[in-house]
Structure 1
Amino acid sequence: MNIPDLPWSVPLTIRLQCGLERTFASVYEALDFLENEWPMRRGQRYERAVRTCWGALNRSTPAAVARETFIAACLEAGMPLVAAPAMPAMAANAFGRPIPHSGMRAAG
């Protein structure tokens, strides 16, 4: 059966128990991880995340709900979210050089 994936508007990155970081951008990626790579296949949040991811792929649950239950399952399993990097203070031009704010000169 081919079920279309549902991308999340904002991907999330978690720190795995081994210390590596992994980014998830869609419901299917989260469900695949839950069903095939999850470190402990028990817990209320784990079970709810599996159910809601399947529900989202079947269009009976909003993708945002599946995302939140996946986050809760990750926290339950000791895999915290990784903070997103801060946006740079200055924009860059087409050559990758910073565009100065008013009163600043660009280094050349």
Structure 2
Amino acid sequence: MAYYKRKTGADRRRERVRAKLRRVAGDRLRLSIHRSSKHIYAQIIDDRGGRTVAAAGTVEKGLVGDIKSTMSVAAAEAVGKALAERAGQAGVKSVVFDRGGLKYHGRVKALADAAREGGLEF
């Protein structure tokens, strides 16, 4: 007897977002975001090659610097800037934004805007 996990609304939303990304992406890499209650992580993924090209997160020492909280919009902006810088060093200019079913609001929006300011196009 096979085990079947019922899909939640978040699972269906995540699948819907990723399906649209596959249709629109073309040859671009994917900027994926994961937001937990304490931290935010972002990585640029090459789905064809199955590897991570660049990554940044608030868990890294020295990335957030003198910002008090890793749960703040300012910390998300720092992650976005660091990711854009690392992507530039890896030669990545254009990506497709995968919010992973999260609302484009708050920390997610701050990270995306900072990555755009850093030179990423999406």
TM-score range, shorter chain: 0.3 to 0.5
Of the two, which has the highest radius of gyration? 1
TM-score (norm 1): 0.33
Higher strand share: 2
